[in-house]
Structure formats: structure tokens, C-alpha cells
Structure 1
């Protein structure tokens, strides 16, 4: 059983690359059904899903924070907070149309 922990992923990391990285210490992103050629960030943005009866089914459910470039070109760090409209708007699947101002 792997210890719990966090992983920081840069833009463009494919799901299969993240899976390989996590495999060595015995961790995973769950039973992910998305195309393995998609980036991890892309799978979050498009609402890719996993297969589990015990855990939330979206890949995005495992995200604790996101760094985004807002409509003014500023980099913003947004922490997971289920009571925050900003978090909910930025973590919901909306494909490439997401824009936070």
C-alpha cells in the first residue's frame, strides 16, 4: 500500500508518463479510462473519468490545486475548496473554453 501524498505535474505530461512515475512507489491515478495519449491537465479539463465504486469517478476529483493563466495573463494558484465558486468554476470540465477573469 502506497503512502498518501501529492504530485506536482507540469503542462503536457501525458497520463501514461504520470502513471509510470507513480507506479514505482506503488501509487496511481486510479482506474483511468481516458486515452493514454492525452495530457493529465487535458484529462482534467475535458472531464475524463475513472472507474471506481469507492472513489469519485472524475480524474479532476484527485486535483488539490491548479495554476491557471487568467484572462489578464496573470498566473493564479487556486487551492481546492468545494465551497468556493472560483474553485468549482476552474475545476469543472469545460474543455479548452475555460477562462477565469
Structure 2
């Protein structure tokens, strides 16, 4: 039923998401894949979406796309940082774990 409804919606009113792989996280591997031009492919898809009537802002170049993704203010916090509940120094750690030598 949802597929049928989607066909009746104009492309300019549809929402599309592109997910970019990054593993291991926070290691500078955003959009990397063996022998694939990930950002070049995404740029091509974005340009095609634009020609098909989707409301998308396409960067002029692949380099601008890369900069836009890697320097996004909303994504500046490294994902491992988001999961840190508490930090301790080595002295505190040693007191809590005397068996760890």
C-alpha cells in the first residue's frame, strides 16, 4: 500500500536519505570502500535526482560534497565521544583495578 502511495507523490515532495558507511568509526574512513568512488557515485546520484525533479542541493563538485560531509557542524562530535559516560585518569583506574598490571 505504501509503495502505491509513494508513486502518487511528486518527486519534489519525497524525502530521500543516503547513508555513508564509516568503519571503524572516527578513524577517517567516512565513505571509503575498496576500489569504489563512493563520493563520486553519491554526487552522480544527487545530480540524477535533481534531473528527476527531487528537491536536492547538489554541490558543484565532488570535492565540495566531501567537504560538506566531513566538515558538517552537526556531525563534528566523533561518534565514540557520544558514548563516553565518564573519563578517569590512570591513577584512578589503577586504584579501581589493582589486579590489572
Q: Per residue, is there more strand in 1 or in 2? A: 1
Higher helix share: 2
Q: Which has the larger radius of gyration?
A: 2
How does the TM-score come out when normalised to structure 2? Answer: 0.27
TM, length-normalised to structure 1:
0.27
